[in-house]
Amino acid sequence: MRLKDKIALITGVSSGIGMETAILFAKEGAKIIGVDMNDQAGKKIIEQINIAGGTAAYFHADVSQASETKAMVGFAEETYGALHILFNNAGIMHGDDGDAMSTEESIFDLTMAVNVKGVFFGCKYGIPALQRAGGGSIINTASFVALLGAATPQLAYTASKGAVLSMTRELAVTHARENIRVNALCPGPLRTELLMKFLNSEEKRQRRLVHIPMGRFGKAKEMAKSALFLASDESSYMTGTEFLVDGGITAAYVTPS
């Protein structure tokens, strides 16, 4: 087992990447703290892990709130005695997110609160726990749009993921000598509920698909396997990276004629 005796905290556990990662990490021997605001769906995943023979506990938290993020880290240490893996995965992509002219300030602020402050608070309170454990791995979910503009305008989301990538790099440098690795998982377009709600028409989906050399959306399970690599000792010499898992989109992003 690649994560035997590790304690992993995963935000956004109720669906998509978070759900698949929690299930996979548990199979690989980690004890899971699953965090979400959707208690019904989040608890269902945790129950599924426990029924399958894994070890998992659920905690309700809004990651945009400092007190709740601090409490989730405290819960992890109180429940399992330590924290070794922190996956700051929770995020939003609002349906009213567009270009600079159409995006309301409230949508921009909400996106930044969850996607950027959520990662900041996770690291603010999670890093001391990793220090107490003697080190560990932090994975922050960014996106390919942290490196490229999106064909379908989503300015707040794109800006937020650029901030996540920048934070990841600086934190990696700051804590590299403490046996704490910090990497950004940068997925390409995925067939998840989050993206499909945003790309809510066939025209929008084809507009995105046309740029992907593999010709398909990625799967949350594929991102979970990538997160497993970043969480495990197999990536022990990796920190501060933009770990792109994107179907080739950043290698061949062109506007079709």
Catalytic site positions: 157
Cα–Cα distances (Å) from 61 to 26, 35, 70, 118, in that order, read: 21, 6, 9, 10
In whole angstroms, what is the distance from residue 151 CA to residue 212 CA?
A: 12
In whole angstroms, what is the distance from residue 227 CA to residue 224 CA?
A: 5
DSSP 219: -
- Bridge partners of residue 32, in order along the sequence: 8, 56
Within the chain, residue ranges assigned H as helices are 16-27, 39-51, 66-80, 105-112, 118-132, 155-175, 193-198, 202-209, 220-231
